[in-house]
Structures are given as C-alpha cells and as structure tokens.
C-alpha cells in the first residue's frame, strides 16, 4: 500500500442544528423540525461505497438516539463511529461539569448502539481547548480532531500542543492521546481553511483539488470534513437567518456530491482510512517523526491560533 493518507470525516448533524442558524432555531424547536440527516448520511455512505473508501463519522448523541439503525449501518459499512458531542453546544459555552456530562453521555450512547468503544471526538464548530482535551482523556477518548490552525473563526478554539510529539500529521502527548488537526493550505504567510465545509462548496473542484495536492505534498496527508446537510439541496430554507449565514450554508449545495466524488477520484492512488486506523498505522509503523510541516509550523504549532479575526467560516 503506497501513497499518502486522506482522512474523510463527516460531522453528522442536521440542517437545523448548525451554529449559523442557532440565533434562529432554538434547541426546543429541534423535535418539530424535519429530520433529514439520515438521508444526507446515506448519500455519503453510498458515495463512499461506490468509491471504496472508509471514513470517520462524528455523530451527535441527540441524533444517534433518534437513529440508532443509521449508527449501526455506518459501522457495518466499514466506517468509524465517533463523537460530535450531544447537542452541538460549543465547548466554550459549557462549564467543565456540563462538558464532561455531554462528552460522557455521547460516548455511552454511541457505544451502547455499536457495542464497541468510541475513541474519537470532534468539537462542535471546532471549539476545542486544553480543558476539552483534559476532559476527553478523563473519559477514555483516545483522540480529538478539532484543531484548525487558521484562526479565522471566533468559534474555533486554541490548543497548546507543545508537549505533543508530531507523528505523521498527528500530534500525540506523553499519555498517548492524539490530536489530528483539520487541514489548511499554507499560501505565502497566510493559512487558508482548506479542510472542507463552505470553502469546498465555494471553490471550483479543480482549484480545491489543486490545494489538496499541495497539502498532500507538504504534509503527507489531508483531513477533510463535511456534513450530511451539504448533500441535501432540498432541505428546508431558513429565511430568517442573515444573508451571510444563508450564503455560507446554501452555496452550491446541489454540486457537493459531484465535487466530493471528483475529489476522491482525483486522489484514488492515495490511502483513504478512518482516523482510528490512521493512528493505529502510526503506532504499527513505529513513531516516525515527520520533518517540520509548513502547514502547521512555528506559531501554528505552539500557540496554535492567532487572535481571532473577523472573517467567518462555515460551522462544523
Ligand atoms: Zn458540527
């Protein structure tokens, strides 16, 4: 098996659960909304089956409780089931006790459905922090995949990875807990979000794939994220949301499936695997430390995020 590694990740949440619509749709409205995440998730499962690739699905506990068959189907079709928290609350909005309770409940719900251990976590809207890592370790999670070094979105968190050792494109601490950052593109002195979401829908496939090729060259790996609602152009429209939030959420929804197919086919010589299997492959190969990585070098590694700026990026 040659090639570089691509980690496809899916944050399983519905159109009414995204951060961009939180001002418009209250949690108390969720039960009454039209649930469509199963449909969107199955579009992805079918696409992945067609392309013969494996992925990681970070699933909300609220959704897992309502669609346990979908969670089992994800696992049965060869993918990793992981946690996206219970209610999509930003970690930064939760006290440590509530955070622990959210992470614990989600892990238990998913493990009860799957009958196997859940190792991974992605924070809602990448709202990671050192405190979240501490909580994850306390609860037996093995890795997190929430760090975005671009620092372009005020919701995104910061991490101090100075005690972590870089192995492949993951970072592992002395206790064996790993962080798998979402990929960005280094362009001159700028770090451009290139991990998926709205940017993936906005840019033409040829440009996006060119960026991925550059990230693979620099990093020997690429971490992509998407959501089921990005594959559901028929979803209800939230007309009360702001114009900018509607643009970020709805831009090019009708083309996402075709673009992801193009991305996977463009890189079909590479190794697509789940986050869990990637970390396992690193430990099997035996801790080969990569050379300094331009995508995550210098400030991006030790301080991990510049002060937040005004540019908004789509929610995770
Ligand atoms: Zn999310």
- 217 CA distance to ligand 1 centroid (A)? 28
Q: Which residues of 51-89 are buried (b: 16+ CB within 10 A; e: fewer)?
A: eebbbbbbbbbbbbbebeebbeebbeeebbbbbbbbebb
Per-residue pLDDT tens for 249-281? 888 899 999 999 999 999 999 999 999 999 999
Inside any domain, residue 206:
yes
**How many domains are contained in the chain?**
1
Inside any domain, residue 285:
yes
Mean residue pLDDT of the chain comes to: 89
CA dihedral over 106, 148, 252, 268, signed as positive or negative: negative
Q: For 129-142, what is the mean pLDDT?
A: 97
- 215 CA distance to ligand 1 centroid (A)? 23
Considering the entire predicted model, what is its pTM?
0.89
| CATH number of the domain where residue 239 is located | 3.20.20.370
- 64 CA distance to ligand 1 centroid (A)? 14
Res 309: pLDDT: 33
Inside any domain, residue 307:
no
Inside any domain, residue 309:
no
- 124 CA distance to ligand 1 centroid (A)? 4
Count of residues in the chain:
316
Nearest of 20, 83, 31, 36 to residue 231 by alpha carbon: 36
- How far apart CA 123 and CA 88 sit, in angstroms, is 8
Domain coverage including residue 116: 5-298
Per-residue pLDDT tens for 147-198? 987 776 777 788 989 999 999 999 999 999 999 999 999 988 889 999 998 8
């Amino acid at each position: 098996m040659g090639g570089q590694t691509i980690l496809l990740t899916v944050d399983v949440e519905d159109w009414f659960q995204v951060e961009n619509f939180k001002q418009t749709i209250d949690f108390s409205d969720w039960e009454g909304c039209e649930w469509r995440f199963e449909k969107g998730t199955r579009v992805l499962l079918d696409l992945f089956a067609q392309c013969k690739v494996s992925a990681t699905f970070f699933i909300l506990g609220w959704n897992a409780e309502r669609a346990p068959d979908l969670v089992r189907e994800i696992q049965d079709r060869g993918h990793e089931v992981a946690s996206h928290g219970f209610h999509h609350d930003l970690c930064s909005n939760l006290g440590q006790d509530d955070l622990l309770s959210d992470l614990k409940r989600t892990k238990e719900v998913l493990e009860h459905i799957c009958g196997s251990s859940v190792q991974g976590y992605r924070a809602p809207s990448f709202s990671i922090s050192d405190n979240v890592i501490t909580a994850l370790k306390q609860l037996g999670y093995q890795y997190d995949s929430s760090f975005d070094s671009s620092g372009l979105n005020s919701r995104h968190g910061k991490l101090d990875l100075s005690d972590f050792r870089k192995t492949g494109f993951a970072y592992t601490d002395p206790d064996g807990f790993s962080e798998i950052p979402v990929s960005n593109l280094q362009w001159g002195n700028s770090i451009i979000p290139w991990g998926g979401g709205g940017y993936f829908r906005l840019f033409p496939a040829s440009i996006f794939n060119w960026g991925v090729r550059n990230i693979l060259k620099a990093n020997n790996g690429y971490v992509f994220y998407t959501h089921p609602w990005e594959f559901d152009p028929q979803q209800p429209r939230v007309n009360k949301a702001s114009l900018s939030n509607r643009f970020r959420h709805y831009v090019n929804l009708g083309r996402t499936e075709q673009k992801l197919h193009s991305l996977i086919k463009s890189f079909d010589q590479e190794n697509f695997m789940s986050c869990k299997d990637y970390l396992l492959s690193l430990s099997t190969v035996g801790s080969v430390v990569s050379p300094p990585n331009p995508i995550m070098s210098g400030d991006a590694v030790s301080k991990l995020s510049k002060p937040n700026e005004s540019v908004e990026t789509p929610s995770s």
